[in-house]
Structure 1
């Protein structure tokens, strides 16, 4: 089923709103310890407990409005529920901090597996949005595979060696900026291998 078009601002709020709310909530509660059901939880765990159902809800709303979710969106919300849930259940923030590592390893692994088969799974997911020649898809897929693996490694280094504050800033702004910068630097591929609409007719 084709994806239904919705207001771009509404779509942005549904996709990025939970992340920004997590950031704001963390800033407000990071120095607090709350006792819930006789157990003490620091602010990070409390905010994580709120973030998990929030992102599940906004993803559900996005699906209801558009009738479509990408495989990346589905994988992301599943991993958020799993690792966020483990962090809350075990009262251990390490699981939630590992979540970006698992997401990027999953994406990089899937793309890498496709490359070993001589295929671009990225083309399968994004062909309608970015019409490219096959060679362009293969180049972009190789680069994105390396990029995802690098982000997974970087996330591990940050959360294991830096403060929670540093990791939250990195997760909220650093990863988003890195993905944006990556695609901005791939202009040469889109220029060289892009397919014009009249060529497809």
Structure 2
């Protein structure tokens, strides 16, 4: 595993969220302007996906070079984006790409749940020490995050199957990140309660 290197927070944020914003912008610019290639018409969603996939790959490569490593969740997300984004482009079918968040969240919930059953602090390893906390706190956070990922998977399925492309793109671009940030903000009492003893005493 490569040694983690410090990187400017603004640059890391841009690389983390920039590709998603590129997808959002491309979709709204192209949604009313289908393009015909090799006798087949491609709508804005598939065209935006075709732009998003290489942009995300480039961002992940940049993160790998700058930080010296990628988190397991970043690698899993990249693989699923390439696979399901590629299927959407190849078959000219947005449904594959819309299913991708469901599979990502189900995968994360399954892996974290399996680690919890084995008594392994996989969440702590994945978060790479970003949150100092006692083992009991990590166990509680893992249980909550498993339930939250299952909720996000169900929410994604409900939205993409019942609403328009525009609604799903807004949900994917803004709804999911806001829900994730709100979830971790709501865990502040947990982080405080299970902070390492030396930090409590300081």
For the aligned pair, the TM-score class normalised by the smaller chain equals over 0.9
1:195, CA displacement in angstroms? 1.3
Q: Distance in 1 between matches of 2:159 and 2:15?
A: 27
The 5-angstrom pairing of residues 14-163 of structure 1 reads: 14-163=15-164
Q: Which residue of 1 aligns with 2:7?
A: 6
The answer for unaligned runs of 5 or more in structure 1 is: none
Q: Which residue of 2 aligns with 1:181?
A: 182
CA pair 196-32 structure 1, distance change in 2 beyond 3 A:
farther
Q: Distance in 1 between matches of 2:81 and 2:72?
A: 14
1:33, CA displacement in angstroms? 1.2
For the Cα contact (< 8 Å) 1:119–1:138, is it kept in 2?
A: no
Residue range with higher mean Cα deviation, 109-118 or 85-94: 109-118
1:119, CA displacement in angstroms? 2.9
Residue 35 of structure 1 aligns to a residue whose secondary structure is strand
Instruction: Tell me the C-alpha RMSD between the 2 structures.
Output: 1.5
Residue range with higher mean Cα deviation, 129-138 or 117-126: 117-126
CA pair 149-5 structure 1, distance change in 2 beyond 3 A:
same
Residue 165 of structure 1 aligns to a residue whose secondary structure is helix
Q: TM-score normalized by structure 2?
A: 0.95
The answer for unaligned runs of 5 or more in structure 2 is: none
1:115, CA displacement in angstroms? 1.7
Q: Distance in 2 between matches of 1:173 and 1:101?
A: 16
Q: TM-score normalized by structure 1?
A: 0.95
Q: Distance in 1 between matches of 2:144 and 2:9?
A: 28
